[in-house]
Amino acid sequence: MGECWNHRTATFMILGNVCTRRCGFCAVEKGAPLPVDYDEPQRVAAAVEAMGLKFAVVTSVNRDDTETVPRLYRQVRLGARYERSLDVLAHARRVAPATPTKSGLMLGLGDRAWELAQRHRKGRMRYV
pLDDT by residue (tens digit) across 14-64?
A: 888 888 776 666 777 888 878 889 999 999 999 999 999 998 888 877 554
DSSP character at residue 85: H
Is 80 exceeded by the pLDDT of residue 126? no
List pLDDT tens digits, range 85-103.
788 888 988 999 998 877 7
Residues 6+ apart with CB under 8 A from 89: 65, 101, 103
Residue 110 CA to its chain's centroid (Å): 20
Q: What are phi and psi of 76, to 5 degrees?
A: -90, -40
Give 58: exposed, middle or buried? Use CB within 10 Å, 0-12, 13-18, 19+: middle
Residues 6+ apart with CB under 8 A from 110: 72, 75
Q: What is the pTM of this model?
A: 0.55
